[in-house]
């Protein structure tokens, strides 16, 4: 026996050291493709679209401010130099800004460019300013409406990944430090990747440290003895280190929700440790020898804890039904983490405990009498107020259903941005003063014998573009028609009013002869090689997924009723549209995943209790926390989106733990010959304290998420903390009520 204990402790020590050495190999990731709903028909359209043209998020925008106005020679010279320098940045294909743009002028030899801004001619600035601000190609795209900032548009390589994004942003920050601009802002894929991964790393460290401090404090309050505190903390720490080592060795990536991993591992491990140590100490105090006390603990609590770990893992595993990669990964990783925590406690912790007596583990001054009084009062409350408890449950059910009916899925990017960080400030700046981030593409398919650059097709494209301009939320609209509009403007003295599509086909054909002189790069990103497909590119403000969907439906209605589908067909697509479709799948995957979890947990409980009434008693109290969580979303106006949807799996997985501990103890007491009321009293006294303590730990453990700067993590922490307390009250109030109604003596 002694050799086995030593071998177990040594094995876990070796695994812990090996895992610690794997920390530098942890992988972090963030890209929008992760959040694409797999198997969606629109996703296939989008993938075909970007293969034909280019990705719609392959850009990085740099807005440079000069609050006194950008038409200042010193500022323009510095800004133009920056524009030229950015072309040399790694992974940048091209750069564009107003200081590089020219208006074409017809000459006998072809086009002659006239700069939009004559930097070396300040006397022309007022005229340049008036012309630029009257041109909707430039306002909100390359210059703010109040002319206090200019924008550099960087075209970057398609699908840039984290390492390259970090290299680009590091070089760009070094370049920006060489200039004395008042302020500047970034927007784009590489910026998001670098900053949001940095946020993930910060969240991981902060949540781990905060959870560690909390657990240390709680263990001190419970055990008061250094050995007891030490065993608990070492056990929890070993489980955490083994989990991180597992993530590193298997190459599993930390994503936007990675901050939850340390909290989950620490508090789930803490729950297991408290149940095991409390039972072991109770058995020692009954006068049992350490070996016998440990055997009883493993038999009674170890099996119950195994079941709770399995049901918790199942709760997380329900997320595997999601179409969204990071959600599935989180569910699988969390499920594996729960099992790692259990294995650590059942082997490593029990091996350590076997060396110590009760008075070495916990202070004799611990307030056992206090807990006995509380649990005794709780028992008599359920006995004396059965009708009131039942009516309160019905009322809570009705209120929760009302709250659930108010749930919205109007997801916005801003609500997922880190609080108080520059990336969020930059995002808001572009939303307020420029075009925003969300790309919206419309694929154009010429029908029959038509080609996408035929007059009849482009006339329809122009009509759709004019319709899009009626929506103030849609900006930066561009298509192949812009080339013809520019040529039309050139033939009419480059006046802003002349920037329009030719109304007559004869005029169009006259301009068409000049299109061949336009640089190929300007055409190929708007028109396919076979000239059967084209694109309308735009960006839409971050007004929420449901609001954008409503606007999109209105656009689709216009297309269906006002445009000629025999000439051309249109289909909305783009990164924003695909990500927003997650809202449609979140509800479906949430319900289907929970349904599967309930069936599996029901099967496990049926095997455990072998009684239909016990199965109902076990399940009913665990629906209430789910209803309360849903109602909080509705009443507080919290949008149900991918990051928030995990809360239901977490709540169900953890809430069912206390139910199993409570009913397992009740079943054991009944087997020993006690009647129902005696069994309930014993269960309240012996198990009630443990589930109260673990709930308190869970409550404060998830409140650690308030230290997060990631809004969905804060919301998840708040929801889980509040609803897990409801799960405790549900167990302590409704299980006794249901057992008295459904179980016979």
Same domain membership, residue 564 and residue 707: no
Q: What angle do CA 239, 354, 270 make, to 5 degrees?
A: 30
Q: Inform me whether the pLDDT recorded for 211 exceeds 90.
A: no
421, part of any domain: no
> What is the DSSP secondary-structure string of 721-734?
HHHHHHHHHHHHHH
Helix axes 189-223, 260-285, angle to 10 degrees: 10
pLDDT digits (tens, 9 = 90+) for 612-662: 788 788 888 888 888 888 888 889 888 877 677 777 777 777 777 788 878
Q: Map tokens 């942003």 to a residue.
A: 169
β-pairing, 110-115 vs 253-254, is unpaired
Give the pLDDT band (50/70/90) at residue 110.
Answer: low
User: What distance in Å separates the CA atoms of residue 234 and residue 552, rounded to the nearest whole number?
Assistant: 55
Contact 139, 129 (CB under 8 A): no
User: What distance in Å separates the CA atoms of residue 274 and residue 271, rounded to the nearest whole number?
Assistant: 5
Q: How far is CA 433 from CA 80, 146, 148, 149, 603, in A?
A: 21, 9, 10, 9, 57
Q: How far is CA 125 from CA 118, 129, 130, in A?
A: 7, 6, 9
Q: Inform me whether the pLDDT recorded for 522 exceeds 60.
A: no
Buried b (16+ CB within 10 A) or exposed e, 575-584: bbbbbbbbbe
pLDDT digits (tens, 9 = 90+) for 325-340: 777 888 888 889 989 9
599 Cβ partners below 8 Å, 6+ apart? Answer: none
Q: Inform me whether the pLDDT recorded for 111 exceeds 70.
A: no
46, part of any domain: no
Across-strand partners of 254? 28
pLDDT digits (tens, 9 = 90+) for 664-704: 888 888 888 888 888 888 888 888 877 887 788 778 877 88
Number of helical (H) and strand (E) elements in the chain, helices listed first: 28, 12
Residue 276: its pLDDT value, please? Answer: 87
User: What distance in Å separates the CA atoms of residue 185 and residue 77, rounded to the nearest whole number?
Assistant: 19
Residue 301: its pLDDT value, please? Answer: 81
Residue 518: its pLDDT value, please? Answer: 64
Give the pLDDT band (50/70/90) at residue 3.
Answer: confident
User: What distance in Å separates the CA atoms of residue 491 and residue 211, rounded to the nearest whole number?
Assistant: 69
Give the pLDDT band (50/70/90) at residue 591.
Answer: low
Same domain membership, residue 395 and residue 279: yes
Give kind and range of the element (H or E) at residue 474: strand 474-478
Q: Inform me whether the pLDDT recorded for 132 exceeds 60.
A: yes
User: What distance in Å separates the CA atoms of residue 51 and residue 35, rounded to the nearest whole number?
Assistant: 19
Give kind and range of the element (H or E) at residue 595: helix 582-609
Residue 601: its pLDDT value, please? Answer: 72
Same domain membership, residue 333 and residue 307: yes
412, part of any domain: no
Residue 428 has which token pair?
A: 């808001």
Same domain membership, residue 297 and residue 157: no
User: What distance in Å separates the CA atoms of residue 12 and residue 14, rounded to the nearest whole number?
Assistant: 5
Hey, is 627 helix, strand or coil? helix
Residue 176: its pLDDT value, please? Answer: 95
37, part of any domain: no
Rounded to an integer, the average pLDDT of 364-377 is: 71
Same domain membership, residue 735 and residue 587: yes
**For the chain, what is the domain count?**
3
Residue 257: its pLDDT value, please? Answer: 67
Q: Map tokens 């998020």 to a residue.
A: 57
> What is the DSSP secondary-structure string of 638-649?
----HHHHHHHH
Q: 593 or 301, which is more confident?
A: 301
Question: What is the rounded average pLDDT for all residues in the chain?
Answer: 84
Last residue in a domain, options 547, 579, 611: 579
Rounded to an integer, the average pLDDT of 533-537 is: 89
Residue 368: its pLDDT value, please? Answer: 56
Same domain membership, residue 247 and residue 182: no
Give the pLDDT band (50/70/90) at residue 311.
Answer: confident
> What is the DSSP secondary-structure string of 310-346?
HHHHHHHHGGGG-SSHHHHHHHHHHHHHHHHHHHIII
Same domain membership, residue 731 and residue 610: yes
607 Cβ partners below 8 Å, 6+ apart? Answer: none
Rounded (10°) CA dihedral 283, 285, 291, 295: 0
Q: Inform me whether the pLDDT recorded for 73 exceeds 70.
A: yes
Q: 257 or 602, which is more confident?
A: 602
Q: Inform me whether the pLDDT recorded for 720 exceeds 90.
A: no
Give the pLDDT band (50/70/90) at residue 519.
Answer: low
User: What distance in Å separates the CA atoms of residue 637 and residue 648, rounded to the nearest whole number?
Assistant: 17
Residue 279 CA from chain centroid, whole number: 39
pLDDT digits (tens, 9 = 90+) for 10-61: 999 999 999 988 888 887 776 666 666 676 777 777 777 777 777 777 889 9
Which of 135-139, 203-207, 417-421 shows the highest mean pLDDT? 417-421
Give the pLDDT band (50/70/90) at residue 587.
Answer: low
What does the DSSP 8-state code read for residue 53? S
Give the pLDDT band (50/70/90) at residue 64.
Answer: very high
pLDDT digits (tens, 9 = 90+) for 118-131: 899 999 999 889 88
Residue 229: its pLDDT value, please? Answer: 85
Rounded to an integer, the average pLDDT of 279-302 is: 85
637, part of any domain: yes
Rounded to an integer, the average pLDDT of 287-297 is: 86
Last residue in a domain, options 194, 223, 240: 194
CATH of the domain at 332: 1.20.1640.10
Rounded to an integer, the average pLDDT of 175-181 is: 94
Last residue in a domain, options 530, 563, 579: 579
Residue 583: its pLDDT value, please? Answer: 64
Which percentage of the chain shows pLDDT scores above 90? 24
Residue 228: its pLDDT value, please? Answer: 84
CATH of the domain at 142: 3.30.310
Q: Map tokens 């927007």 to a residue.
A: 187
Residue 593: its pLDDT value, please? Answer: 64
159 Cβ partners below 8 Å, 6+ apart? Answer: 31, 33, 55, 58
Residue 382 has which token pair?
A: 């359920």
Same domain membership, residue 377 and residue 243: yes
Residue 173: its pLDDT value, please? Answer: 95
Residue 2: its pLDDT value, please? Answer: 66
Count of CB atoms situated within 10 Å of the CB of 571? 16
Q: What angle do CA 27, 32, 36 make, to 5 degrees?
A: 110
Domain that holds residue 167: 57-194
Buried b (16+ CB within 10 A) or exposed e, 320-329: bbbbbbbbbb
Same domain membership, residue 317 and residue 397: yes
Residue 356: its pLDDT value, please? Answer: 84
pLDDT digits (tens, 9 = 90+) for 538-574: 888 888 888 888 898 999 999 999 999 999 999 998 8
Rounded to an integer, the average pLDDT of 217-231 is: 82
49, part of any domain: no
Q: How far is CA 699 from CA 246, 330, 359, 367, 605, in A?
A: 27, 21, 29, 21, 25
414, part of any domain: no
Of 303, 544, 529, nearest to 408 by C-alpha is: 544
User: What distance in Å separates the CA atoms of residue 585 and residue 38, rounded to the nearest whole number?
Assistant: 10
Residue 66: its pLDDT value, please? Answer: 93
Same domain membership, residue 278 and residue 347: yes
Rounded to an integer, the average pLDDT of 394-409 is: 88
613, part of any domain: yes
Count of CB atoms situated within 10 Å of the CB of 250? 10
User: What distance in Å separates the CA atoms of residue 323 and residue 586, rounded to the nearest whole number?
Assistant: 8
Same domain membership, residue 713 and residue 607: yes
Q: 591 or 287, which is more confident?
A: 287
Same domain membership, residue 369 and residue 236: yes
């Amino acid at each position: 026996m002694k050799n086995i204990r030593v071998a177990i402790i040594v094995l876990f020590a070796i695994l812990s050291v090996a895992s610690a050495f794997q920390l530098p190999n942890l992988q972090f990731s963030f890209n929008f493709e992760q959040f694409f709903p797999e198997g969606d028909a629109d996703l296939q359209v989008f993938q075909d679209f970007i293969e034909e043209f280019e990705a719609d998020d392959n850009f990085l925008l740099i807005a440079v401010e000069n609050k006194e106005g950008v038409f200042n020679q010193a500022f323009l010279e510095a800004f133009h130099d920056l524009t030229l320098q950015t072309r040399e940045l790694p992974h940048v294909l091209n750069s564009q800004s107003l200081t590089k743009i020219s208006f074409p002028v017809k000459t006998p030899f072809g086009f002659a460019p006239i700069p939009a801004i004559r930097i070396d001619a300040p006397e022309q600035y007022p005229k340049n300013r008036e012309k630029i601000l009257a041109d909707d190609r430039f306002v909100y795209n390359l210059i703010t409406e109040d002319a206090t900032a200019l924008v550099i548009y960087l075209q970057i390589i398609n699908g840039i990944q984290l390492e390259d994004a970090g290299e680009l942003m590091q070089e760009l920050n070094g370049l920006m430090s060489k200039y004395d601009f008042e302020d500047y802002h970034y927007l784009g894929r590489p910026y998001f990747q670098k900053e949001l991964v940095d946020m993930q790393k910060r969240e991981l460290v902060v949540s781990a440290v905060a959870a560690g401090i909390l657990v240390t404090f709680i263990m001190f309050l419970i055990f008061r003895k250094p050995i007891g505190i030490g065993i608990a903390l070492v056990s929890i720490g070993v489980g955490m280190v083994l989990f991180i080592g597992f993530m590193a060795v298997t190459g599993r990536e930390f994503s936007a929700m990675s901050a939850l991993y340390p909290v989950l591992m620490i508090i789930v491990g803490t729950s297991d440790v408290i149940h095991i140590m409390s039972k072991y100490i109770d058995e020692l105090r009954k006068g049992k020898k350490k070996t016998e006390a440990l055997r009883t603990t493993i038999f009674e609590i170890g099996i119950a804890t195994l079941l709770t770990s399995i049901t918790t893992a199942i709760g997380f595993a329900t997320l595997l039904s999601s179409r969204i990669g990071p959600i599935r990964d989180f569910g699988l990783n969390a499920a594996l983490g729960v099992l790692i925590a259990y294995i650590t406690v059942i082997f490593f912790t029990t091996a350590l405990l076997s060396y110590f007596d009760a008075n070495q583990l916990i202070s004799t001054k611990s307030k056992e009498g206090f807990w006995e009084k509380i649990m005794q009062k709780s028992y008599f409350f359920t006995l004396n107020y059965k009708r009131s408890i039942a009516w309160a449950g019905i009322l809570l059910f009705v209120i929760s259903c009302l709250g659930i009916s108010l749930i919205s899925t109007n997801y916005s990017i801003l609500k997922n941005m880190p609080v108080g960080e520059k990336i969020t400030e930059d995002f808001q700046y572009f939303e307020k003063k420029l075009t925003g981030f969300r790309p919206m593409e419309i694929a154009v398919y010429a029908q029959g014998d038509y080609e996408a650059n035929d007059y009849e097709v482009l006339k329809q494209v122009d009509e759709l573009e004019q319709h899009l301009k009626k929506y103030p939320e849609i900006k930066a609209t561009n298509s192949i028609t812009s080339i013809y509009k520019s040529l039309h403007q050139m033939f009419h003295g480059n006046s802003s009013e002349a920037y329009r599509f030719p109304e007559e086909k004869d005029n169009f054909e006259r301009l068409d002869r000049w299109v061949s002189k336009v640089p190929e790069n300007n055409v190929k990103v708007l028109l396919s090689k076979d000239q059967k497909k084209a694109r309308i590119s735009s960006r839409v403000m971050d007004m929420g997924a449901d609001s954008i969907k409503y606007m999109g439906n209105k656009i689709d209605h216009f297309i269906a009723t006002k445009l000629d589908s025999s000439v051309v067909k249109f289909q909305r697509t783009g990164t924003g549209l695909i990500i927003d479709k997650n809202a449609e799948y979140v509800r479906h995957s949430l319900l289907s995943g929970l349904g599967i979890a309930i069936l599996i947990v029901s099967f496990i409980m049926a095997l455990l209790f072998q009684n239909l009434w016990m199965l109902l008693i076990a399940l009913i109290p665990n629906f209430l926390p789910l209803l309360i969580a849903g109602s909080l979303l509705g009443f507080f106006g919290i949008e149900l989106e991918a990051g928030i949807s995990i809360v239901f799996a977490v709540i169900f997985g953890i809430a069912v733990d206390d139910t199993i501990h409570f009913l397992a103890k009740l079943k054991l007491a009944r087997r020993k010959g006690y009647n129902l009321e005696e069994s309930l009293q014993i269960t309240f006294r012996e198990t009630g304290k443990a589930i109260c303590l673990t709930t308190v730990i869970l409550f404060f453990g998830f409140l650690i998420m308030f230290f997060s700067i990631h809004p969905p993590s804060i919301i998840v922490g708040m929801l889980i903390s509040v609803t897990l307390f409801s799960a405790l009250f549900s167990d302590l109030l409704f299980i006794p009520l249901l057992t008295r109604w459904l179980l016979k003596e």
